[in-house]
Amino acid sequence: MSIISEKNLEKIKSNVLRVLYDESPSHISANYIADVEARDKQFILKILKDFEKKKIVRNTTKSFSRKSFWIMTDEAYVKYKELL
């Protein structure tokens, strides 16, 4: 697997946030984000879990579901909206 530079990783992270913002208030899957960004699902999940630790996104998956769904937190949505 190739190594991604910090600069490119930040671009990918900002694109993931943009997708979450554009689709808000809908809950979207990691598969959908991976398709939009043309990235591996596991890589996108890693980014989403990192965002979850920072309280930027939250996982809204039901306990019986195999698919994970994500949404931007209200605080992050407001701050992202201010940046635009």
Q: What is the pLDDT of residues 24-77, one digit of tens each?
A: 888 999 899 999 988 889 999 999 999 999 999 999 987 777 788 999 999 999
CATH topology of domain 6-83: Arc Repressor Mutant, subunit A (1.10.10)
Angle formed at CA 80 by CA 75 and CA 83, multiple of 5 degrees: 135
In this structure, what are the phi and psi dihedrals at residue 57, rounded to the nearest 5 degrees?
Answer: -130, 165
Does residue 16 carry a pLDDT above 90? yes
Domain-wise residue ranges, the chain: 6-83
